[in-house]
């Protein structure tokens, strides 16, 4: 497994573009992205579990019934959710780009992100479609920028790996900063690969992976309405098709997990107003379900998040969050550590406080990346969850998000 450049354009046969078409008033911000495979690809997606779903998700689910896709179009600045003509607009988006690319509209994945409840005018997309297609190239940064909303950083990664003696590539881009909470999927993530894998195994890979990655990320406890993770595999690496859970599939899963964990960390660390990436590692759980629920309870706690913002080693809030996780854990066995580049410190042993240096703890917690390490000492299962601190700026950003 080797990290490479190129994002979603690293795999063979994939191109992307991103432009400002006029959906957003700020002309310096791109607002329309396109990812295109030169050949038809197997495709898989997972979607938000919010009962209120954006129109693009409804259209994309219909388009992916055959497990095939060739393009992804995504606009930012408007979520196309709770609009009377939302389905019509989402279908028009796929029709417009399909016409420009000379492919079937059924082979287009449609996505939108931005403000909920504002009508989406199709005119800028109509006017920008030709430019979007003619801007296609191997530079994935433009598409990564065009899907951003309150994100402050481009989120992209690519890897190279070998299957069946053939060199394969996988790349991904993501957006996600606010309305991030574990309930699949809580962001927009688009992944491409030239690996030859059946649609059934592609869906299995994605559905399996997200339970350990994107479903373990939380910024603010709000599950969004529009978000999805989609992957296209066009097979141009020409490896023997992966059709079963064998060693080749495990290699594919490792590549996918490398992409998704990296993007999870990017999303959590770039949470709205955040100053710190929090990584909660829970071990010693009697079941994987217990480990996950404990980790998510900690990472979602507003009081834990604010303590981390203030670099306050208030470990009691972590015990509190474990206590309301609804998991039957032995409180008198729990150990808690804080760790960063400045070192590691034990703050709780067997569910009770221990003497520790407040100065050393403060030094550790002032770093940009912090590990909250919890050992339940009650089993062999472990997991990791990602989040961020909660700051004054989160309120400022969301207090006037729409206006």
Q: Are residues 189 and 317 in the same domain?
A: no
Question: How confident is the model at residue 186, as a pLDDT?
Answer: 44
Max CA-CA distance within the chain?
A: 69
Q: Are residues 245 and 112 in the same domain?
A: yes
Which tokens in the block code for residue 17?
């573009």
Q: Are residues 344 and 245 in the same domain?
A: no
| Boundary residue ending a domain (269, 288, 306) | 269
Contact between 386 and 212 under an 8 Å Cβ cutoff? The reply is: no
276: three-class secondary structure by DSSP:
coil
| CATH number where 283 lies | 3.10.20.340
Which tokens in the block code for residue 125?
């997309």
Question: How confident is the model at residue 403, as a pLDDT?
Answer: 62
Q: Are residues 230 and 360 in the same domain?
A: no
Q: Are residues 184 and 247 in the same domain?
A: yes
Q: How far apart are CA 92 and CA 52, in angstroms?
A: 21
Each residue's pLDDT expressed in tens, for the chain with a length of 403 residues? 899 999 999 999 999 999 999 999 888 999 999 999 999 999 999 998 777 788 999 999 999 999 999 999 999 999 898 888 999 999 999 999 999 999 999 999 999 998 888 899 999 999 999 999 999 999 999 999 999 987 888 999 999 999 999 999 999 999 976 554 554 434 799 999 999 999 999 999 999 999 899 888 876 555 667 788 999 999 999 999 999 999 999 999 999 999 999 998 988 887 777 889 999 999 999 999 999 999 999 998 999 999 999 999 999 999 999 999 999 999 999 999 999 999 999 999 999 999 999 999 999 999 999 999 999 999 999 999 998 888 888 777 777 766 6
Q: Are residues 162 and 131 in the same domain?
A: yes
Q: Are residues 178 and 222 in the same domain?
A: yes
**Annotated catalytic residue 186:** yes
Q: Are residues 264 and 344 in the same domain?
A: no
| Conformation bin of residue 229: beta by default, left when phi > 0, alpha when psi is -120 to 50 | beta
Q: How far apart are CA 6 and CA 181, in angstroms?
A: 28
Q: Are residues 381 and 328 in the same domain?
A: yes
Q: Are residues 307 and 259 in the same domain?
A: no
Provide the domain limits for residue 356.
277-399
Question: How confident is the model at residue 218, as a pLDDT?
Answer: 76
Report pTM. 0.86
Q: How far apart are CA 90 and CA 152, in angstroms?
A: 27
**Quick one: which of 78, 75, 144 has its CA closest to 114?**
78
Q: Are residues 283 and 261 in the same domain?
A: no
Q: Are residues 253 and 209 in the same domain?
A: yes
Say which of 60, 113, 149, 186 is annotated catalytic.
186
| CATH number where 63 lies | 3.60.70.12
Q: How far apart are CA 185 and CA 33, in angstroms?
A: 19
Contact between 140 and 6 under an 8 Å Cβ cutoff? The reply is: yes
DSSP letter at 16? E
Total domains in the chain come to 2
- Between the alpha carbon of residue 289 and those of residues 162, 211, 292, 296, 351, the distances in Å are 33, 11, 5, 11, 21
132: three-class secondary structure by DSSP:
helix
């Amino acid at each position: 497994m080797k990290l490479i450049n190129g994002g979603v354009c690293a795999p063979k046969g994939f191109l992307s573009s991103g432009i400002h078409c006029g959906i957003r008033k700020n002309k310096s911000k791109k607002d329309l992205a396109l990812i295109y495979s030169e050949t038809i690809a197997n495709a898989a997606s997972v979607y938000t579990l919010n009962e209120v779903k954006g129109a693009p998700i409804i259209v994309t689910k219909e388009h992916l019934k055959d497990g095939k896709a060739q393009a992804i179009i995504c606009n930012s600045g408007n979520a196309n959710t709770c609009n009377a003509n939302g389905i019509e607009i989402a279908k028009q988006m796929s029709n417009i780009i399909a016409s420009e690319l000379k492919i079937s509209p059924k082979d287009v994945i449609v996505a939108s992100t931005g403000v909920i409840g504002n009508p989406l005018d199709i005119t800028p997309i109509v006017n920008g479609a030709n430019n979007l297609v003619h801007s296609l190239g191997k530079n994935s940064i433009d598409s990564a920028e065009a899907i951003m909303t309150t994100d402050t950083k481009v989120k992209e990664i690519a890897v190279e790996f070998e299957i069946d003696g053939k060199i394969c590539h996988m790349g991904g881009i993501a957006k996600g900063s606010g309305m991030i909470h574990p309930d699949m999927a809580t962001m927009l993530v688009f992944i491409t690969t030239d690996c030859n894998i059946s649609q059934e195994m592609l869906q299995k890979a994605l559905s399996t992976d997200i339970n350990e990655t994107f479903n373990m990320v939380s910024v603010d406890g709000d599950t969004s309405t529009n978000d999805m993770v989609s992957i296209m595999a066009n097979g141009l690496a020409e490896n023997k098709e992966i059709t079963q859970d064998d060693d080749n599939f495990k290699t594919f899963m490792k590549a996918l997990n490398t992409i998704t964990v990296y993007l999870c960390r990017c999303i959590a660390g770039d949470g709205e107003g955040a100053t710190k990436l929090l990584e909660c590692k829970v071990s010693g759980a009697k079941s994987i379900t217990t480990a996950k629920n404990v980790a998510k309870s900690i990472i979602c706690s507003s009081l834990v998040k604010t303590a981390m913002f203030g670099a306050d080693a208030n470990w009691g809030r972590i015990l509190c969050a474990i206590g309301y996780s609804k998991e039957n854990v032995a409180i008198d066995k729990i150990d808690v550590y804080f760790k960063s580049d400045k070192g590691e410190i034990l703050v709780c042993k067997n569910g009770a406080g221990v003497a520790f240096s407040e100065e050393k703890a403060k030094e550790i917690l002032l770093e940009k990346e912090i590990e909250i390490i919890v050992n339940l000492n009650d089993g062999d299962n472990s997991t990791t969850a990602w989040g961020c601190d909660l700051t004054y700026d989160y309120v400022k950003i969301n207090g006037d998000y729409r206006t």
